[in-house]
């Protein structure tokens, strides 16, 4: 396709919107494949291992468990091979893949090498960077000392999408994981390769890219919704065809590559200036020390943040 098509959209189903990290584009797209009897290869959280892992999904119930952004690198394990085998065994079916930009590019290559590129529809995510899965797993285990975890939600919209909070249930009680979110957004734990990511751009080799539509209050204030909006970038003709088929499930507005701008569509996230100090402290003092020390906001930092927000 000559140029990328850009849309702001959100699912018309308010219950799905509340459970999705952005505007529910993933659910709308995957519904289309699942309704036809196709398979979806995506990531879900595993509470026994405390890690995100890719897996093949055939039902909406299984897919629902994959909703929500998980701020950790997801493990592919054998799932891509399983996807390939499933395609071989089901020659008239398609496979939808969802993952970060690097995973989408790798999966596309894998499908090409196996002569299956036409049968894999690839959706990638805009990505700030995937944090170390080891740090999350250790933190989760440390929280679990006081009760089993469930209902993990890195982007809980109970206070709205723009003020979303990280939460998890422990022994039935909801607790905050804001310290973990802070060390992620402060860039201490993002994997080194993410800081030189070649997929932080608008044009990609996948069919569709999805993410959050930020700064809408400037470009389309009458379309803002406090429960979040998806940004959808369409790169291929079959991506456009698919979007036409699912459009009636979404409230949509056409946009452009200027109004949808965000940093990770232009360049990778820069590493924190004190990243090495975080890791050295982690090796010396362990996870609890680092969460307390780097995850808490001191009065000085709160003032710094307020001033930054006030600047144009």
Ligand X SMILES: Cc1cc2nc3c(=O)[nH]c(=O)nc-3n(C[C@H](O)[C@H](O)[C@H](O)COP(=O)(O)OP(=O)(O)OC[C@H]3O[C@@H](n4cnc5c(N)ncnc54)[C@H](O)[C@@H]3O)c2cc1C
Q: Which residue ranges make up the site for ligand X (CB under 6 A)?
A: 20-27, 42-43, 52, 66-72, 74, 98-100, 125-128, 130, 210-212, 230, 262, 264
User: Of 251 and 281, which has the nearer Cβ to ligand X?
Assistant: 251
Comparison of 24 and 166: residue with beta carbon closer to ligand X:
24
Whichever of 186 and 281 has its CB closer to ligand X, that residue is 186
Considering beta carbons, is residue 284 or 308 the nearer one to ligand X?
308
Closest distance of CB 13 from ligand X, Å: 12
For every residue of 58-72, which 3-state class applies, written as one string? CCHHHHHCCCCCCCC
Q: Is the dihedral of CA 266, 126, 143, 134 positive or negative?
A: negative
Q: How far is CA 229 from CA 24, 143, 221, 298, in A?
A: 8, 32, 12, 32
Smallest gap, in angstroms, from Cβ of residue 79 to ligand X?
A: 11
Q: Which two tokens mark 277?
A: 């100090």
Q: Which two tokens stand for residue 259?
A: 């109004």
Nearest approach in angstroms of CB 18 to ligand X is 10
CA distances from 150 to 37, 147, 171, 272 (A): 30, 10, 8, 31
Tokens 């470009």 -> residue: 219
- What is each CA distance from 111 to 34, 114, 116, in whole angstroms? 20, 5, 5
Nearest approach in angstroms of CB 216 to ligand X is: 12
Minimum CB distance to ligand X, residue 194 (Å): 9
The number of C-alpha atoms within 13 Å of 241 and in the hemisphere containing its C-beta is 5
CB of 138 to ligand X, least distance (A): 17
Judged by CB, which is closer to ligand X: 148, or 215?
A: 215
- Closest approach, Cβ 10 to ligand X, in A, equals 8
For residues 131 and 295, which CB has a smaller minimum distance to ligand X in the complex?
Answer: 131
Q: Which is nearer to ligand X, 62 or 281 (CB)?
A: 62
Taking the complex as a whole, the smallest distance from the CB of residue 286 to ligand X amounts, in Å, to 24
Alpha carbon 110 to its chain's center: 21
Of residues 262 and 293, the one with the C-beta less far from ligand X: 262
- Closest residue (Cβ) to ligand X? 211
27 versus 79: smaller Cβ distance to ligand X? 27
User: Considering the complex, what minimum distance in angstroms separates the CB of residue 285 from ligand X?
Assistant: 26
CA 11, distance to chain mean position in Å, is 17
């Amino acid at each position: 396709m000559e140029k990328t098509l850009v849309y702001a959209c959100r699912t018309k189903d308010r219950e799905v919107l509340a459970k999705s990290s952005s505007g529910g584009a993933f659910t709308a797209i995957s519904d289309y494949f699942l309704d036809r009897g196709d398979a979806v290869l995506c990531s879900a959280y595993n509470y026994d291992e405390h890690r995100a892992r890719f897996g093949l999904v055939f039902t909406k119930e299984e897919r629902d468990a994959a909703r929500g952004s998980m701020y950790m690198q997801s493990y592919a394990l054998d799932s891509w091979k399983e996807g390939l085998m499933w395609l071989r065994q089901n020659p008239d079916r398609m496979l939808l893949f969802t993952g970060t930009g690097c995973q989408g590019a790798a999966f596309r290559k894998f499908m090409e090498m196996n002569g299956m590129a036409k049968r894999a529809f690839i959706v990638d995510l805009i990505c700030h960077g995937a944090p170390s899965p080891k740090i999350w797993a250790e933190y989760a285990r440390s929280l679990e000392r006081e009760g089993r975890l469930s209902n993990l939600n890195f982007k809980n919209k109970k206070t709205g999408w723009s003020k979303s909070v990280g939460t998890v249930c422990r022994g039935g009680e909801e607790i905050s994981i804001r310290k973990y979110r802070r060390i992620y957004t402060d860039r201490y734990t993002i994997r080194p390769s993410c800081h030189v990511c070649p997929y932080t751009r608008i044009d990609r080799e996948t069919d569709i890219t999805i993410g959050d539509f930020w700064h809408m209050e400037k470009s389309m204030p009458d379309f803002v919704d406090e429960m979040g909006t998806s940004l959808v970038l369409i790169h291929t003709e079959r991506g456009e065809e698919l979007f036409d088929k699912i459009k009636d499930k979404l409230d949509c507005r056409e946009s452009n590559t200027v109004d949808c701008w965000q940093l990770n569509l232009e360049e990778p996230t820069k590493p924190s200036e004190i990243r090495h100090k975080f890791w050295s402290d982690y090796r010396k003092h362990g996870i609890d020390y680092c969460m307390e020390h780097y995850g808490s906001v001191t009065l000085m930092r709160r003032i710094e943040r307020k001033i930054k927000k006030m600047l144009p």
